Amino acid sequence: MSDPTGDPPPPRVIAVEDNPADVRLVTEGIDHAGTEVDLRVINSGQRAINRFTTIDADAPLEHPELILLDLNLPVRSGFAVLNSIRNQTTFQDVPVVVVSGSMDRTDITRVYERSGNAYVTKPADPDDYIETISAIVEFWIPPGGRLIPND
Question: How far is 121 from 38, CA to CA, in rounded Å?
Answer: 24
DSSP code of 133? Answer: H
Neighbours of 21 (CB within 10 A): 10
Residue 37 lies in a domain: yes
Residue 52 lies in a domain: yes
Inside any domain, residue 146: no
Residue 2 lies in a domain: no
In a domain, 145, yes or no: no
CB count within 10 Å of CB 113 equals 10
- Residues 79-106 have pLDDT tens digits of 999 999 999 888 889 999 999 999 999 9
DSSP letter at 11 equals P
CATH number, domain with residue 67? 3.40.50.2300
Residues 6+ apart with CB under 8 A from 35: 10, 11, 137, 138, 141, 143, 145
Please tell me whether the overall predicted TM-score, pTM, comes out greater than 0.85 for this model: yes
Question: Is residue 1 situated within a structural domain?
Answer: no
By percentage, how much of the chain surpasses pLDDT 70? 85
